[in-house]
Amino acid sequence: MNNTPLLKLENVSVYFEKRVGLFKPPSLVGALVDVSLEVNKGEIIAVVGESGCGKTTLGKVITGLQHPNNGKLYYQGIELNRLDKKRRNEYRESIQMVQQDSFAALNPKRTIFQSMADPLIEKGIVKNRTEAKHKVMELLERVELSAPEQYLEKYPHQLSGGQRQRILLARAISLNPKIIVADEPVSMVDVSLRVSILNLMARLNREMGVSFIYITHDLSTARYIAQNGRIVVMYLGKIVEVGNVQEAIGDPKHPYLQALISAVPVPNPKLAREKKMLALKSIDLPDPTKPPKGCRFHPRCPYAMEKCADYEPELKKRGNRYVACHLYS
Ligand SMILES: Nc1ncnc2c1ncn2[C@@H]1O[C@H](COP(=O)(O)OP(=O)(O)OP(=O)(O)O)[C@@H](O)[C@H]1O
């Protein structure tokens, strides 16, 4: 059996310049700092964390939209820089992105057929417009848009948010990808439709064997979609915990994950009263241009010890889990 991961990130860092004043030199923000991760065939990985922790940057590095400043990426075991032109194109096609804002992702002046047919013709998946029409209708049916012919001549503004998000998924699968990075794909969709879109992604994962990287700040949807998958918890540009999603949410190791779980509202008042809450020392994220020394989470962590302020904990294997916390060393 071939155990080579589809994609591997090795000690990847991405820094952005941030200007605070016109005459001051820019500061650096570590959007990703020394991040290593493997993405395997057919798995679902949920990437969670607060706003600004680096989730989108991670998604962009995976899709090749953001070049890292440091570190290496491997596609099917070969470092990206060493891929020949053919394999590099294959890599680009095999990783697709579905964005949060479906309106911005679709050209408002093009019909759904135009937006979907062009890449199919360009990549030689279909030979002509007649074949493209059949293929587009097949793809629309695959994302559960019944009576697909009625969507072909529509413009994005004539569709609902949920329908547009399905079109983005149809476009993403049209090139037979191996990985789809879905960045907050349901956060702008009506609450009542979110589950059906998550179910659709889970079905595409099962039927096509495509891996999903589901980026979200919402732990409940992360748990829902990645039921048998992994969770990657990020804090200020770093991965702090990785593990099976059910095990990690059921028994969170890193205090940051414990705090995220504490913050999820429980609708049942009795269960809400019984729920263990983890009070953070501060609710505010530190300035990302001046990350705290030692463990980046220590100023907010209720369990912080002396060494947490001095030494940065490494992400280490603890049983089935990877955790970056001195509590477990
Ligand atoms: N193009 C950019 N230029 C400068 N700084 C950036 C850029 N993109 C991201 N950043 C900064 O990098 C950090 C990580 O941003 P990123 O968008 O990856 O986080 P995120 O977890 O996806 O946040 P959100 O949930 O709000 O989308 C943030 O501090 C952000 O301000």
Residue identifier of the C-alpha nearest atom 28 of ligand 1: 52
Q: Is the pLDDT of residue 1 over 60?
A: no
The conformation of residue 294, written as its DSSP 8-state character, comes to S
Structure confidence at residue 264 (pLDDT): 73
288 C-alpha to ligand 1 centroid (Å): 10
Protein residue closest via CA to atom 11 of ligand 1: 31
- Position with higher pLDDT, 328 vs 22: 328
Residue 276 has pLDDT above 70, yes or no: no
Q: Name the residue ranges covered by the structural domains of the chain.
A: 7-109+155-328
Exposure class string for 290-306: b at 16+ Cβ within 10 A, else e: ebbebbbbbbbbeebee
Supply the ipTM of this predicted assembly: 0.96
Rounded alpha-carbon distances, angstroms, from residue 180 to 193, 225, 271: 20, 14, 36
Average pLDDT value for residue range 237-246: 97
User: What CA–CA distance (Å, rounded) separates 208 from 66?
Assistant: 27
Asked if the 7-109+155-328 domain carries CATH number 3.40.50.300, the reply is: yes
Estimate to the nearest angstrom the gap between the alpha carbon of 81 and the chain centroid.
23
Distance 236 CA to ligand 1 centre (A): 10
Predicted pLDDT of residue 281: 79
Residue 199 scores a pLDDT above 70: yes
pTM: 0.93
Q: How far is the CA of 175 from the centre of ligand 1 (A)?
A: 28
With contact defined as beta carbons under 8 Å apart, do 184 and 153 qualify? no
Mean pLDDT for the stretch of residues 287-314: 94
Q: Residue 32 C-alpha to ligand 1 middle, in angstroms? A: 9
Give nearest CA residue, ligand 1 atom 1.
Answer: 16
Distance of CA 56 from the midpoint of ligand 1 (Å) = 7
Label residue 163 by pLDDT band (50, 70, 90): very high
Using only C-alpha atoms, the chain has a radius of gyration, in whole angstroms, of 21
Closest-CA residue, ligand 1 atom 20, reads 52
- Which string of DSSP letters, residue by residue, matches 111-128? -HHHHHHHHHHHTTSSSS
Please give the DSSP secondary-structure letter assigned to residue 109.
T
pLDDT at 43 over 90: yes
Is the per-residue pLDDT at 68 higher than 60? yes
Q: Residue 284: what pLDDT?
A: 80
CA-nearest of 327, 301, 291, 228 to 33 is 291
